[in-house]
Amino acid sequence: MAPTLAIVLSLLAAGLALLLVRENKLRRALQALCSRLLNRLANVAGQNQSLYRPRTRSSHFTPRRR
Look at residue 28 and give its three-state secondary structure.
helix
Report pLDDT for 9.
Answer: 96
Say how many Å lie between the first and final Cα of the chain, rounded: 89
pLDDT tens by residue, 12-59 = 999 999 999 999 999 999 999 999 999 999 998 888 776 556 666 666
Alpha-carbon span 44 to 16, nearest angstrom: 42
Exposed e or buried b per residue across 36-51, where buried means at least 16 C-beta atoms within 10 angstroms of its C-beta:
eeeeeeeeeeeeeeee
Instruction: Report whether pLDDT(6) > 80.
Output: yes
Report pLDDT for 62.
Answer: 61
